[in-house]
Structure 1
């Protein structure tokens, strides 16, 4: 296959958006040093990735797993300490139960500019 067309790959991965995500994942794998499964023929990594998908020399399931794991992040949950929670529940530092009223907005005097001064009629 001298030129890769989307039609060659769409037969293997019908959704074009999935095709973009999976071929980009494979191109990143190739860039990071993974061995290619076809001859390069002076093609760049994205073209090699598309050719591998079209020739079915890579497993789509492995690419899907790689995409999913690349988007997963480990987020450490910051649990509030019991002392802080007790202080919040008692109303210290939290305006919800202390009866604090919202601050009133200052009154702004209206400008008495008429339309003639603004260029109107």
Structure 2
């Protein structure tokens, strides 16, 4: 394939596994329509990706981020934590016990339904 290009890339990215992963992700990006930073010269996308890496035309941090996002099945979105009603009730109970003793800790009575509102 492009042995000279691979040997040039090893200088930039010494780990061969990372080199293959970065080059394959860059080749996929090129196939998806990413802008090429050098002349193609009738080379295929993997060779163009290796040449870009060898000539340090790409930022390795950007390549790594692209690789990670390309491998993710779905992106985790930080959601606000759901309100835990039981924890709130426990906190209210603890506060009531601290302030007024056992009398304040009694559960609040539910409003009684009117006789007319009750279904038969």
TM > 0.5 between the two?
yes
Checking the alignment, whether the CA contact within 8 Å between 2:22 and 2:63 is kept in structure 1 is: yes
Question: Cα distance, 1:7 vs. partner?
Answer: 1.3
In the TM superposition, what whole-angstrom CA distance separates every residue of 1:57-91 from its partner, at most 9, and x where no partner exists? 11111110011112223389xxxxxxxxxxxxxxx
Matches within 5 A, 1:70-85: 70-74=70-74
Once the two structures are superposed, the pairs formed by residues 59-70 of structure 1 within 5 Å of their partners are 59-70=59-70
Partner of 1:53: 53
Q: In structure 2, what is the Cα distance between the partners aligned to 1:54 and 1:75? A: 31
Query: Which sections of structure 1, spanning at least 5 residues, go unmatched?
Result: 77-121
The answer to whether the 8 A contact 1:4-1:47 is kept is no
RMSD over aligned Cα atoms: 2.0
Aligned mates of 2:53, 2:26 — CA distance in 1: 9
1:16–1:39 distance in 2 versus 1, CA, 3 Å: same
The number of residue pairs the alignment matches comes to 75
1:41/1:69 CA distance change after superposition, 3 Å:
same
TM-score computed with the length of structure 1 as normaliser: 0.57
Q: Report the CA distance shift for 1:75/1:27 in structure 2 as closer, same or farther (over 3 A).
A: closer
SS of structure 2 residue aligned to 1:57 = coil
CA contact (8 A) 2:13 2:19 kept: yes
Divergent runs of 4+, >4 A: none
Q: Determine which structure has the larger helix proportion and give its number.
A: 2
User: What's the counterpart of residue 104 of structure 1?
Assistant: none
Give the gaps of 5 or more residues in structure 2.
Answer: 77-120
Q: TM-score, normalised by structure 2?
A: 0.57
Distance 2:68 2:53 in 1: 18
